[in-house]
Structure 1
Amino acid sequence: MQAIILAAGMGRRLGEYTRDNTKCMLPVNGVRLIDRVLGQLSQLGLSRVVIVVGYKGQNLIDYIGHRYDDSLKIEYVDNPVYDKTNNIYSLSLAKEKLQEDDTLLIESDLIFDDSLFRMIMDNPYPNLALVDKYETWMDGTMVRIDEDNNIVNFIPKKAFKYKDVDSYYKTVNIYKFSREFSQNKYVPFLEAYSKALGNNEYYEQVLRVITLLDNAELKALPITNGAKWYEIDDVQDLDIAETLFADKDEFMYRYNMRFGGHWRFPKLLDFCYLVNPYFPTAHMKDELRANFDILLSEYPSGMYVNSLIAAKYFDIRQKYTVVGNGAAELIKSLMERVEGRIGVVYPTFQEYPNRKEQTEIVGFMPNNNDLAYTADDLIRFYADKQLSTLLLINPDNPSGNFIPIVDVLRLATWCKERGIFFVVDESFVDFSEDFRNNSLLHNEILQAYPNLAVMKSISKSYGVPGLRLGILASSDEALINWMKHDVSIWNINSFAEFYMQIFGKYQKDYDRACQKFIAERKRFMARLTDIPFLRVIPSQANYFLCQVTEKYTSEELTRRLLMDFNILIKDCDNKDGLENKNYVRIAVRDQKDNDTLVEALKTL
């Protein structure tokens, strides 16, 4: 068995990274792609490795030098017209060598787990294309396969149809060809294809023609063990590859520094970010899809219209309402407006205190194992403190502690009597039991308490974080008008505006989704409490704060779940008040995902 590596391309999309070197010289987490693949190949007992070079080829040859002489016999083939041809020509230059032995054919811009080479070599079938089920990040040549893993056809880019993606597999660009297949099938068709259509084509096009034969002799080998691989074409690909293949010391840091965007990792099961698993409904998503074209091509409305729609959404007055590009935009604006000392319950959602100087914060920390507190606890603690503002997140994040509405209003009255501005973030209130009666978003309440401002993230309980929506409501019209001028006039997009516009039709569906969620939270908590090394704190939100009591630290548990099971939870060890106490936060997802996490925890 030999290997042929195609490494002649220029890699233009990588910009400055390939200005002086070909793509396989790109370092990923400090290791060049060529060193990684040659190191993997050196473990396979190959007869030789043939590298087809072109752009900056001498740089590559000089870099490799004789460093692999003890483990690999390396030969080179030069493509002098790399800038005028495509990889079909690079492979044709090596066609004589291709026919001399069984061959692993590899493209040089790949990074992948060691197991993939062993998987394709150990399979007894002689002619294989390594493939993976289509995911959103994949681009390039796709194939369809039948129940016997025969490749039915190759799907080039121009024939790609998004409606058919459920049946697509992406070629990993690692192939195994027998010498006989190369001699009798591939090379003859390669020569004919190049003669007919020229050299500015792709070698997969030849395989596409071969699969049309009655006896193509080429099968697909789907990746079924969850092994990782990535194709690096641009700087975004490089960033994702460095995250996927980070070592254990960097792994968690790289995921956490992204602050979302986990859709780029489709196999990741995300128990870190907090959304409703049961809303929006499929029908509501269909309505959004049906209006995609017009929403993409038209401007959204300005603040006047969007505050009107948001007011309709929550059945409150427009003059009490300001809309934000997520609650985060409104938090920033509000905290810049707030002056003086602010009371904050710890641990908390850090976005609020991070906007203030530490000297301005008067922190309260519950003195019990469940981090539970009541309105009376806050009144007693802050009775002799000089505050201008009191912040209450209800249910709290990350503890899930919940204060009933009657007590929140009593706290609002206490603040009003003392001239304290009272900020209540109720982003998770719709996950609480009796959620229909727990919100402060009512005209009568807002009017009765002009010292009250209610923050609400639409992302979380409504399950639309990608739309970036939030509101702040208050009868303090001076505050609302100031914030409307502080944020951009076009601070939300057309998709978010349209979502708010149609929500009323789906109110009953939303109520049912919340009820379904509450039932699943109860079931999930019962399952989590069976894990011997977790102490689960009761919650009225869509997450549980859990203390890791033995066996692991919170950091170790978080890392093991991500590295071994591709499951992401939140390590709370860096939250103020929870340092070195081994707490993690686990979101509540649907039953299938929740059971997957429980089984992983049982394995650990």
Structure 2
Amino acid sequence: MQQKRIKINRQLFEETSHSPALVDIVGEEQLEQVIDYCFIANPYYPTDDMLEQMKSKLSSIIKAYPSSNPRLARQHLAEVLQVNAEWLVLGNGATELITLIEKHLVNDLAIPIPTFSEYIEKLRTSDAAKFFQLNPKKNYQLNLAEFASWIKENKIGGALLINPGNPTGQLIPANELKRFLNEMTHLKLILLDESFIDFADEEIPSLLHEVEQYKNLIIVRSMSKHCGVPGLRLGYCCTSNQAFLQPLKEALPVWNINSMAEYFLLQLKNTNKAYHKSRMHVIRDVRDLYQKLIKLPGYQIYPTGSNFILIKIEFGMSAFDLQMQLLENHGLYVRDCSNKIGLDNRHIRVASQGKEKDQFLIAALKELATEHAHR
């Protein structure tokens, strides 16, 4: 791929714990010259037909208020998920729900690290976070038996599990999760984030349909990832515990879900088959990317149960330097994970953007490792 040097705004990387939006970094005029591997969302859904349908309704949708009755939107989602609509709370993205859960329900929280930073940053006090460092020599795989013992030993009241892990991509088998949940019924709250679980396998190993068995369990899911709609800001949580549901529902403002997001929810039932086809497409792409990455010299490639892959740089370059070289010289945007508590400055995260685009990433990573080896 012929690539001219990309001009970027480096300052933006210092102003957020998340990846700055690509358009903010490079500007509209350079946007088409860059492939965004930070984009950890389904690139095949919504379908083109769905997008055309939404475009045709755009003028009427943006001129209308969303429903003031959140039950209606919950019912549309519940029908697709096949769960009790009363157990759902819809949020303006999962981050809104994370904020409310931690504000209203969490006193202290056992957090395996590295993790998604919102779970740390939205706690009411910094000392509410109780960090459990994952072992890099074991691919940052969470050992639930060790985690349970540590929680009991330290008398912690709540626990966070992200499955598959973010940014690690590590998957916890459902039977191990259930064993942990059965052992930890004494906890006030167990927060299970399943935002990437739809990419884990052909059969989705979610615990969504078993929430009634675990009264201290709240499952959080971001629809940005598996549905590919981060701009719509849609997420939900699911629990059968009324003591959890009531304060969350009461804390949400009216119209926290916008009209476009509501219309998208209406389309889910009739496009469910297309959704699962897109999900399987992503799974195949990630498996293909993983097989090609593990052949590259100079990198440690961690196993993944998600649509992204964590990579450790094993030659003398930091994650930030590699990120900048890929972006400025190759037009490829990857996630520098250096600001993730529990990781060093040698890790990047990449999400598959389809086999055709992924080949540019593979070639560029190989080139950088080869250049460094010859210095």
TM-score in same-fold range (> 0.5): yes
Q: How does 1:113-192 map to 2 (within 5 A)?
A: none
Q: Is this contact kept in 1: 2:13–2:20, CA < 8 A?
A: no
Aligned to 2:362: 598
Counterpart-to-counterpart distance in 1, 2:75 and 2:101:
20
SS class of match (1:352): helix
**How many Å apart are 1:588 and its aligned residue?**
1.6
Alignment of 1:382-461 (within 5 A): 382-416=151-185, 418-436=186-204, 438-442=205-209, 445-461=210-226
Give the drift of 1:590.
Answer: 0.7
Q: 1:332 to 1:257 in 2, by over 3 A?
A: closer
2:23 corresponds to which residue?
Answer: 262
Please state how far the C-alpha of 1:574 moved relative to its aligned partner: 1.4
> Which of 232, 251, 254 pairs up with 1:486?
251
Give 1:588's match in structure 2, choosing from 344, 352, 359. Answer: 352
Q: d(CA) in 2 for partners of 1:409 and 1:321? A: 21
259 and 332 in structure 1: CA distance in 2 versus 1, 3 angstrom threshold = farther
1:307 has 2:71 as partner: no
Deviations 1:452-502 (A, max 9, x none): 100010010111111110001111123222212211110111111111111
Partners in 1 of 2:327 and 2:36 — Cα distance? 10
Match in the other structure for 1:293? 59
Mapped pair 1:343 → 2:104: no
Give the Cα–Cα distance (whole angstroms) in 1 for the partners of residues 15 and 182 of structure 2: 45
Aligned-partner residue type, residue 347 of structure 2: Y
For 2:352 and 2:151, locate their aligned partners in 1 and report how far apart those are by CA, in whole Å: 33
**Are residues 257 and 520 of structure 1, via their aligned partners in 2, closer, same or farther at CA, if it must alter by over 3 Å?**
closer
Q: TM-score, normalised by structure 2?
A: 0.90
C-alpha separation in 1, matches of 2:47 and 2:108 = 43
Q: For residues 500 and 388 of structure 1, what CA distance do their matches in structure 2 show?
A: 35
Deviations 1:419-438 (A, max 9, x none): 331110000000101443x1
Q: Is the Cα–Cα contact under 8 Å of residues 310 and 471 in structure 1 kept in the other structure?
A: no
For 2:18 and 2:171, the matched residues in 1 are separated by 29
Structure 2 residue aligned with 1:539: 304
1:579 aligns with 2:347: no
Report whether the alignment pairs 1:271 with 2:37.
Answer: yes
What do the CA deviations read for 1:172-191 (whole angstroms, capped 9, x no partner)?
xxxxxxxxxxxxxxxxxxxx
CA distance in 2 between counterparts of 1:299 and 1:317 reads: 26
Task: Give secondary structure in 2 for the equivalent of 1:384.
Answer: helix
Q: Note the 1:203-222 alignment, pairs <5 A.
A: none
Cα distance in 2, alignment partners of residues 330 and 251 from structure 1: 26
Compute the displacement of 1:225 (Å).
6.0
Distance (whole Å) between structure 1 residues aligned to residue 316 and residue 22 of structure 2: 31
For residues 423-572 of structure 1, the aligned pairs below 5 Å read 423-436=191-204, 438-442=205-209, 445-572=210-337
C-alpha distance in 2, partners of 1:251/1:460? 23
TM-superposed deviation, 1:562: 0.9
How far has the Cα of 1:373 moved from its partner? 2.0
Which of residues 145, 151, 164 in structure 2 aligns to 1:376?
145
The 1-side partners of 2:280 and 2:213 are apart by 30
Corresponding position of 1:104: none
Distance (whole Å) between structure 2 residues aligned to residue 257 and residue 279 of structure 1 = 23
Aligned to 1:383, the other structure's residue is in SS state: helix
Question: Structure 2: how far apart are the matches of 1:280 and 1:350?
Answer: 27
Shift of 1:395: 0.3
Q: Which has the higher contact order (CA 8 A, sep 6+)?
A: 2
Normalising by structure 1, what TM-score?
0.57
Higher helix fraction: Structure 1 or Structure 2?
Answer: 2
Aligned to 1:54: none
Structure 1 unaligned residues grouped into runs of 5+? 1-223, 229-243
1:107-137: CA deviations, max 9, x gaps? xxxxxxxxxxxxxxxxxxxxxxxxxxxxxxx
Structure 2 equivalent of residue 352 of structure 1: 119
Residue 47 of structure 1 corresponds to none
Greater mean deviation of Cα atoms: 508-517 or 253-262: 253-262
Task: Map Cα deviations across residues 277-305 of structure 1 (whole Å, 9 max, x no partner).
Answer: 22222222222222222212211112232
How much has 1:340 moved relative to structure 2?
2.4
Identity %: 27
Are the structure 2 counterparts of residues 349 and 478 from structure 1 closer, same or farther at C-alpha, using a change threshold of 3 Å?
same
- Distance in 1 (CA, whole Å) between partners of 2:118 and 2:283 is 27
Q: Supply the distance in 1 between the matched residues of 2:143 and 2:207 (Cα, whole angstroms).
A: 17
Is the contact made by 1:533 and 1:551 (CA closer than 8 Å) also made in structure 2?
no
What runs of 5+ residues in structure 2 fail to find an aligned partner? Answer: 369-375
Q: Deviations over 1:574-595 (max 9, x none)?
A: 1111134x11111122111111
Instruction: For residue 261 of structure 1, report the CA deviation from its aligned partner.
Output: 5.8
Mapping of residues 37-52 of structure 1, within 5 Å: none
Is 1:446–1:475's contact at 8 Å kept on the other side of the alignment? yes
Alignment CA distance shift 1:409-1:571 (3 Å): same
| 1:233-244 aligned within 5 A | 244=7
Please provide the CA RMSD for this pair: 2.1
SS at match of 1:593: helix
Change (3 A) 1:256 1:404: closer
